[in-house]
Amino acid sequence: MQKNPLLFATLLFALAACTIHTGSHDAHGNHDTHGDAHGDTHRYGEIVMTPAQVRDGGITTETVRPSDFRDVMRVGGQLQATPDGEHTIAATADGIVTYAAGVANEGAAVSAGQTIATISARQLQDGDPVEKARIAYETAKNEHERAAMLCERHVISQTEYESVRERYETARIAYNALAPRHSANGTAVTATAGGYIKSRIAQQGAYVAVGEPLLVVTKTKRLQLRAEVPERMFSRLNSVATANFRCAGDTTTYSLAALNARLVSYGRSKADGTFYIPVTFEFDNIGSFFAGSFVEVYLLSSPRHNVLSVPNTALTEEQGIHYIYIKKAATTAETVFEKREVKPGATDGVRTEIRAGLKGGEAVVTHGAVQVKLAAVTAVPEGHTH
């Protein structure tokens, strides 16, 4: 050993360094008894947060109890106007259509009796139809007065008089239908009911004939939800009672039960060329929905009892594996959460069934799960590099 003093000194220094490193673990890594006030874990899967972190993160919990959970059929659908909530405004005369200011665009609001367009034929070869109707009416009126006098004198038969009177009544009705809405600008077209312009069929400046559609006006007080159900689910349709839905691009799930909804009908057969069966609900429009929107529908049928479920906001996902966070303990200095892997089941758009990984009576983080997750990611104390 005297021949190798340098080797002996090196071995002693290495042994001392290992002892110091182990002590560092005891001083800084005894998470089971101390924890860290800034998110350090006590054990694997547990996260410690201060009261300030819990408050600033908006973290709330819910004690989970077994309850009823309805069977769910998740399908696609679309919002539609009710049959009596949509009507078409047609042309009342032949001519060129000119829309009133403010109602030429889709989505514009109109009220009952409002003038939405005028139709004029003054510049057309056939002339103004209202003027032609006036001339026809006055001519028929004169003929009728003359025929009435001749009939009284028995110059013409009653049959001839009735024929003249029929032509007069026809001309009178036609003229009276046009005259009240006629002005120097043309014949006015008015809305028969209030609502919103859904679509404009005839373009500005186009020629239209009597009866041709100009605009489609829709009301928004009530809407219909039409769900398209695959035919393989047909046997379950008779148990459908209500539904939840979510509009495309929206993160909020709406409950038909809270929108004064009713089940209108469900199909007993599928239409030709399709593999889907329609299920239709009608509900109150709270002002944020519009006909034509595509939606994700959660049809709710028979309830199942003693099911554990959590709000959808409680679930987080990592590489296809789902987790929740359980509140284990809380003191004035810290709150301890546990990260728990769970096996989710069906979802109704608001809550999700938990088939494994959760027990009744446990407190689950319902809002702020992402903040708890971030606290777990940053849980390694400063200076730890292992």
Q: What is the mean pLDDT of the chain?
A: 81
Contacts of residue 62, defined as CB under 8 A and 6 or more positions apart, other chains included, come to: 310, 311, 314, 363, 364, 366
The predicted-structure confidence for 298-324, as pLDDT tens digits, reads as follows 999 989 999 999 999 999 999 999 999
Q: 39: which 2 tokens?
A: 């998110």
What mean pLDDT is predicted for residues 371-384? 67
Tell me the H-state helices in 77-157.
Answer: 129-152
Write the burial class of residue 369 (CB in 10 Å: 0-12 exposed, 13-18 middle, 19+ buried).
buried
**Is this model's pTM higher than 0.75 or not?**
no
**Is pLDDT above 90 for 78?**
yes
Would you tell me the crossing angle of helices 129-152 and 158-178 to the nearest 10 degrees? 150
* Interval 229-252: pLDDT, tens: 998 888 888 889 899 999 988 888
- Return all residues near 139 (Cβ < 8 A) that are at least 6 apart: 171
Encode pLDDT of 43-57 as tens digits.
666 899 999 999 999
Confidence of residue 266 (pLDDT cuts 50, 70, 90): confident
| Residue 330, token pair as written in the block | 């809380």
The answer on pLDDT for 275 being more than 90 is no
The answer on pLDDT for 210 being more than 90 is: no
Secondary structure (DSSP) of 17-80: HHHHHHHHHHHH--TTTT--TTS--SSTTEEEE-HHHHHHTT-EEEE---EEEEEEEEEEEEEE
Categorize the per-residue pLDDT at 356 as very low, low, confident or very high, splitting at 50, 70 and 90: very high
Determine which of 105-109, 140-144, 261-265, 326-330 has the lowest per-residue pLDDT on average.
105-109
